[in-house]
Amino acid sequence: MAADTNPPKPIALPDGRPVPRFTGDERSMLEDWLDYHRGTLALKCAGLDDAQVRLASADPSALTLLGLVQHLAEVERNWFQRVVAGLDVPPLFEDRGGFALDPARGLDEALGVWRREVARGRELCAGLTLEDTGRIAEGPVAGAEVSLRWVLIHLVEEYARHNGHADLLRERIDGVTGA
């Protein structure tokens, strides 16, 4: 069977999330799956107020939807700006992991920061191939070389894991399940 050189334009689910392509090149499929998971995070926060997104999952955990949004903004910044592009950028939030909540920062602000980080990551990766590499900036494997392919796969995994947390948090907040 011949390779699909012109994959169909992605379609959206009724809730607005993009459906990842069923066929196409590897890069498009990885980016589609990442966009699907990004859309899932946004969906989990939709319709909630600032007090609701600050509700912790269950004792003793302090995990919140607001903390997850902030964390994933930091994740986007770390992997695309620091690792892939090699930029020396400061953390976005007081807590480098992004989980700590500032009483003055609400969901709209955190989602805005997250969306800007997503856009910046797309911009930085636009001219790269899956084989292009960056270096892990810090941590137990600091200096390790990683490909853009590895980073995209890791981000799909990171979002999928945290969207499971978001699913449980949302159900605790108002009973909404699914997606």
**Quick check: 179 pLDDT over 80?**
no
Q: At what angle do helices 107-125 and 65-76 cross, to 10 degrees?
A: 20
Average confidence (pLDDT) over 6-24: 83
Cα-Cα-Cα-Cα dihedral sign, residues 64, 173, 171, 13: negative
Nearest to 114 by CA among 78, 73, 82, 77: 73
Query: How does pLDDT run across 68-104, given as a tens digit for each residue?
Result: 999 999 999 999 999 999 999 999 999 889 999 999 9
Cα–Cα dist 140/149, whole Å: 21
Cα–Cα dist 108/158, whole Å: 22
| Confidence at residue 159, expressed as pLDDT on a 0 to 100 scale | 98
Q: Angle at Cα 89 formed by Cα 99 and Cα 27, nearest 5°? A: 85
* pTM (two decimals): 0.92
